[in-house]
Structure 1
């Protein structure tokens, strides 16, 4: 049980630091949730776009420099 408490305290400390650095501690809870929701949507779209387009982009760069002869 002590390990769980240590991990929980560590996560709470880092969350508190995140709130202080981003100045989110001044917002109302609903505003904070709205901000986190928007951040999650932007992060999800970035991960999706990177996973879809990045391999083709790297393949085209490697093809340009002659390191890749496959079909894009």
Structure 2
């Protein structure tokens, strides 16, 4: 794919984004505010997922392994 086709494709995707979100009817400064808020919210969701989802998955696995009868791993080392 050459650069002209790529540029046209990206332009087409941006146009689809404008149509789907209906922000093509807004003033340019309103569009920029909408885009800023939208992308900030998306970034916050991605960051929160990256930070907190692994913790919750680990805790859920520990919980369900305890229900299935497996013994939890001891954090205290056995001393002979």
Q: TM-score range by the shorter chain?
A: 0.7 to 0.9
**Unpaired runs of at least 5, structure 1:** none
Could you say which structure has the higher helix fraction? 1
Relative contact order, higher structure (CA 8 A, sep 6+): 1
Unaligned runs of 5+ in 2: 67-71, 76-80
Q: Deviating runs (4+, > 6 A) in structure 1?
A: none
Deviation at 1:50, TM superposition (A): 0.8
Mapped partners of 2:38, 2:61: distance in 1: 33
Would you say how many aligned residue pairs link Structure 1 and Structure 2?
70
2:3 pairs with 1:4: yes
- The structure number with the bigger radius of gyration is 2
Q: With structure 1 as the length reference, what TM-score do the two structures score?
A: 0.86
TM-score (norm 2): 0.78
Q: Please, what is the CA RMSD of the aligned residues?
A: 2.1
